[in-house]
Amino acid sequence: MNFKMAGVLCVPGVINFLGVWLILLFVAQPETMSTYEAAGDILVSALTEDGAGYFYLTILSMVTCATCGVLLFSNKYPLQVMYVIATHTLLGLWLYDWSLALVIGLPLLYFNKARLHA
């Protein structure tokens, strides 16, 4: 079976997490610094201060969405990847907002197809 559409449905998760990072880095900046200088300072503080675990989890989630998308698009281990996506979705409900977890879980629309053809 072909799971290319399920792989494509992993892309919105990557885009959403990338959007979180772009908003964090480029929206609220002091006028005394250049854009990239301010973004670098915000990045360093986000990854070193208290609460940095959340930002590391968003990076891990972005990598997970991208990896699952590539594996599904290349039709490798579809059932195992679907279980990873289901686990990631449940963790997303706990860690993030329900709407972000919904986007993470979009490829699960093809779970039954993966289960039947595994």
Span 88-113, average pLDDT: 92
Is it the case that residue 105 has pLDDT exceeding 80? Answer: yes
- Rounded Cα distance, 2 and 106, in Å: 16
pLDDT-above-90 percentage for the chain: 59
Of 118, 52, 49, nearest in space to 83 by CA: 118
Q: Are 87 and 68 in contact (CB under 8 A)?
A: no
Span 14-22, average pLDDT: 93
Q: Which residues contact 81 (CB under 8 A, 6 or more apart)?
A: 68, 71, 72, 114
Q: Which residues contact 106 (CB under 8 A, 6 or more apart)?
A: 9, 10, 12, 13
Average pLDDT, the chain: 90
Query: What is the structure's pLDDT at 42?
Result: 87
- Rounded Cα distance, 60 and 55, in Å: 9
Is it the case that residue 1 has pLDDT exceeding 70? Answer: no
Convert the pLDDT of each residue in 36-85 to its tens digit: 888 888 889 889 989 889 999 999 999 999 999 999 999 889 999 999 99
The length of the chain is 118
Query: What is the structure's pLDDT at 32?
Result: 83
Q: Are 93 and 52 in contact (CB under 8 A)?
A: no
Amino acid, single-letter form, for residue 30 = P
